[in-house]
Structure formats: C-alpha cells, structure tokens
Structure 1
Amino acid sequence: MAYRSANKRSKALRISLYAFIIINILYLFGSVKEISSYSGFPKNAVPSADEVLSASFLTSLSAVLYLICFIVTIILWCLWIRRTYQNLYAMGIQGLRQTPGWTVGWYFIPVALIWKPYEGMKDAWNACSVSAPPSGTSLQKLAAPSIIKIWWMLWVFSSILSRSSSRFESRAHTAGELTSAAVIAIINALVDIVLTIVAIQLVKKLTERQEEKYHSLAPQPASIPETETSSSFTFKQPETNNAGSDFG
C-alpha cells in the first residue's frame, strides 16, 4: 500500500463543511422568522396550514439544502478518514486498533458509533506525531488532544439535540409549541455551527500532521561532501603559442 496524500480530500471536505455552516446560518434566520410569525398568535391557537407554510418557508428550504449537504459531507468525510488510515498503514504505523475500512464502518453501527470513531480519530492523531512516544508507551495509551475531545463531545450533543428537535417539531401544533420548536432548532443550529468549525480545524490539522509525519519518515538525500573551496583553486591560463595558433 503506497502513501497517497489526503490533501485534496481534506480540501474538498472543508469546502463542504463551510457550506454546511452557511446553510445552518440560513436555518437560523428561518427559525427566527418563524418565532416572529407566531408571536402574533395566542399560545394555544392553532395556525392554519397556509400560515405554517408561510412562516416555515425559509426553514423548509434550508432543511432541503441541509439534507443534500449532509449527505455530501458524510461521503467526503468517509473518503478522507479512509485515506488517512490507508496512509498510516502505508507508513508502517504499529498499534492501530482500526483498519481503513472499519474506521468508516464504525460511524454507521448503533451504540459503537458513540466511542469507536473517537477512538479511531485519537489513534490517527497520535500516530501522526513526528516525535516518537515515550519508551514503553503504546499508541493506545496516549491521551487524546483537546480538539478531538471537543469535537466528539459536540458531535454527540448535536446528535442528541437534533433528534430531540425533530421529535418536538413533529408534535408541535399550537403557536406556543411551534415557537418552542423553533427555539430548540436555533440552539441546535448554533451547536452545529460550532461543531463544524471545530471539525474544519480538526481535518486541516490532522492532514497537516500526517504530511509532516510522512516527510519526516521519507529518506533524506545524502549530503554532498565539501570539496576544495574556490579560494584554494587556482585557475591556470592555457599557454598559447602564436606560431602554432589556429588563428595564425
């Protein structure tokens, strides 16, 4: 297995994540508009279908864009993390707990997805350290950096909040319930934005660490021994014989 840089996949993923932030901001504005629209109703009033459609037009549009961007981002994330792990094996890193295939697969297995992706990301980060770990310390025992801990806690919290928001929104009928659902949606969008910013930094830094690790392991060109310096070199003018000159 040969080393193949993950730079291009990293850049594509980060572009998708930036788009994700923009869509979440759009969703924020839509949710604020919903709250404003329902503020004129009594809390127990049930808005008509047309009124709900008018109030939620922007959030509905951003929800469609969100779904499309979410699918694209998942695909790009899987391609990036798989390439990252392929490169770890190509560099001969020992002590990895996951294969390139399973580092993707764990994201789709219930219960295991709570900690396995975190475990894989932690190992990848520590494996890309240019400096060797202390003698006798295995890769698994190394601590995770703060950025991975923050990313994972936000990811878990966002997943729980997203499910709660969807469940609450599906049961909302009165103006008061719809307003509460919009407030939860705003909180969810804000968490998603922070999570995405952290994810962008994580992807960028991990890819950079891997490139540095690869170049530190690559064989360096042999140094050329110094020869006589120009100061000790004497240039001798060739002796000429006018009689035997070719131009004579």
Structure 2
Amino acid sequence: MCVTVAAQASRPGGRSAYLRSPMGLGRATVALLGVVIAADLYSLWAGTVIQGAMEDLRISRDTVGWYGSDLVREAERADTLYGVSGWLQTAALVATCVVFLCWFHRVRVNAEVFEPYLQTKTRGWTVGSWFVPVVNLWFPRRIAIDIWDASGPRSVALDRTMTLSGPAGRPSHPLVNAWWTLWLATLFVGRWATTAYWDAEEVDEVEAAVSKLMFSDALDIVAAVLAILFVRRLTRMQDAKARAGAPMPGLDGESA
C-alpha cells in the first residue's frame, strides 16, 4: 500500500499507477517477434533466389554479351518475390511494434508502482521517445533500464536523495545493452542496404545490394532473438515481484 500511495503521489496531477499483469501482452509480443524472424528467414531465402537470377544474367552478359528473354523473366519473377518478402517484413514489423509498445507502456506503469523514484523519464516518453529523431537513439534504452531496475527483486528506499550508486547500486544490464545495440545496428545497416538496393541499376550492383540486405536481415534476426529474451525476462521479473508482495489494486490474475 505504501508503494502504491507513493506512486500515485509522485505522479503529476495525482495520476494513479496500478499494477496490471504484463503476461498476456508479453506472450503476444514474443509471438509477433517470432513472426518477424520468420519473415526475415523468408527474405533471406528470397535473397538467394534473386542473387541466383542476377548471377545467371551476369554470366550471360559476360559470355554472349546479351540477356536471354528466359533469364530476364526469371529475374523479374525473382524481383517480384523479393518485393513480396519486403512487404511481409514491413507488415510483421508494424504489427510487432504496436503490440511491443503496448507491452512496454504496461511494464513502465508497473515500474512506477514498484519503484516510482527510479523512473527518470515521464510516462509519456515510454511511447513518444521511439518516434522523436535523435532522442530515439537513447531514451528508450534509458526507460528500459529504469523499468528493469524497478522490476528486480531488490527494493530501494522511496527517497529521492537515496540514489543507486556504487557496488550496491544499479547492476549492469548486458541483455538490455545487447538488444539495444543490435536494434540500432539493424536500423542503420537496414537503411544503408535499402538505399543501395534502390540505387542499384546494373546486375553487379543489384547483386551487391541484395547481399547487404541479407546481412541486414541476419542482424534483424539476432536483434529479434535478443528482444524475445528481454521481453520474456522482464515480464517474468514483474510477475514474480508482484506475486511476492502484498496484493495491490488493479493486479490481474494471469499466472506465469
């Protein structure tokens, strides 16, 4: 009760913060991240198809000096297939982002109940920080770390003057850091590879650009796996911490 009252009192304008189970949204997020991985794997396969078509065109150009109509049709089919894989990746990403942000907001509000003074960013930044240029390079990670620390089994005093520092202070965050590093790498490499693909005109350029896109897809798969681990771990941490304490208003009854 003390934690709940403090969480409510610390909110501007008396905004309440109540615990709600993150288990359902966590499972949905993990499932959609699996769909993202499946879409990336499909794109990798489609990339090998278009690379094979480009190689056939290159060999035909280097040996006979022109492209056969059959090879051109094969290349067009491969390009269409690769375009479909891109649309599937986009659809999977958009759906995952929506559910992930709902989950992220849920665990952020729960963190206010657990440890209100550990939250260095306001609740509005939980979603907004992902869409503000430059800020989105570090604010979401900062919020994730605040949530992680508040969701751990260790409690801290509800006193703004008692900060977490030193050997007994905030722990390291290898999983959060690894996930965030791979996420940023995926963003930058993906933009670089996509630009190269749209600018490619010659067969050699297309083949090289597809290789870059396939590298981006591989990075995205690793980032998605780390995101699954992050979501599962944080969701279970919050569920365990809520069940270890006294019942609080608004706690859903979903089990782990």
Structure 2 length as normaliser, TM-score?
0.79
Stretch moving more, 40-49 or 103-112: 40-49
Measured at CA, do residues 149 and 43 of structure 1 come closer, stay the same or move farther in structure 2, by a change above 3 Å? farther
Measured at CA, do residues 181 and 213 of structure 1 come closer, stay the same or move farther in structure 2, by a change above 3 Å? same
Q: In 2, Cα distance between the equivalents of 1:110 and 1:192?
A: 21
Which string of whole-angstrom CA distances, capped at 9 and with x for unpartnered residues, describes residues 81-117 of structure 1? 0001111223353221123321111000000011101
2:54–2:207 contact (8 Å) kept in structure 1: yes
Aligned residues between the structures: 220
1:23–1:62 contact (8 Å) kept in structure 2: yes
Q: In 1, Cα distance between the equivalents of 2:60 and 2:174?
A: 46
Q: In 2, Cα distance between the equivalents of 1:12 and 1:95?
A: 27
Which string of whole-angstrom CA distances, capped at 9 and with x for unpartnered residues, describes residues 100-158 of structure 1? 32111100000001110110111111111112359944289624411011001101100
Q: Quick check: 1:7 aligned with 2:23?
A: yes
1:126–1:144 contact (8 Å) kept in structure 2: no
Q: What is the 5 A alignment of 1:127-146?
A: 127-132=150-155, 136-138=162-164, 142-146=170-174
2:51–2:207 contact (8 Å) kept in structure 1: yes
Structure 1 residue 44: deviation in Å?
11
Which string of whole-angstrom CA distances, capped at 9 and with x for unpartnered residues, describes residues 185-229 of structure 1? 11011000000000001000001111112123326xxxxxxxxxx
Stretch moving more, 95-104 or 195-204: 95-104
| Secondary structure at the counterpart of residue 97 of structure 2 | helix
Stretch moving more, 154-163 or 97-106: 97-106
Q: What is the 5 A alignment of 1:45-60?
A: 50=73, 52-60=75-83
Q: Quick check: 1:207 aligned with 2:223?
A: no
| Secondary structure at the counterpart of residue 117 of structure 2 | coil
Which string of whole-angstrom CA distances, capped at 9 and with x for unpartnered residues, describes residues 47-79 of structure 1? 797554212232211111111111111100110
Pick aligned residue for 1:74 from 94, 97, 110: 97
| Secondary structure at the counterpart of residue 73 of structure 1 | helix
Amino acid at match of 2:137: I
| Structure 1 residue runs without a partner (length 5+) | 220-248
Q: In 1, Cα distance between the equivalents of 2:189 and 2:156?
A: 38
Measured at CA, do residues 43 and 161 of structure 1 come closer, stay the same or move farther in structure 2, by a change above 3 Å? farther
Give the match for residue 86 of structure 1. Answer: 109
1:27–1:62 contact (8 Å) kept in structure 2: yes
Give the match for residue 10 of structure 2. Answer: none
* Identity rate, percent: 23
2:29–2:99 contact (8 Å) kept in structure 1: yes
Q: What is the 5 A alignment of 1:1-248?
A: 1-42=17-58, 50=73, 52-132=75-155, 136-138=162-164, 142-218=170-246
Amino acid at match of 1:18: G
Q: In 2, Cα distance between the equivalents of 1:33 and 1:194?
A: 22
Higher radius of gyration, 1 or 2: 1
Q: In 1, Cα distance between the equivalents of 2:115 and 2:184?
A: 32
Measured at CA, do residues 57 and 78 of structure 1 come closer, stay the same or move farther in structure 2, by a change above 3 Å? same
1:31–1:56 contact (8 Å) kept in structure 2: no
| Secondary structure at the counterpart of residue 79 of structure 1 | helix
Amino acid at match of 1:28: L
Stretch moving more, 62-71 or 75-84: 62-71
Task: Let me know the Cα RMSD of the aligned residues.
Answer: 2.6
| Structure 2 residue runs without a partner (length 5+) | 1-16, 248-256
Q: In 2, Cα distance between the equivalents of 1:82 and 1:139?
A: 26
- The structure where helix makes up a greater share of residues is 2
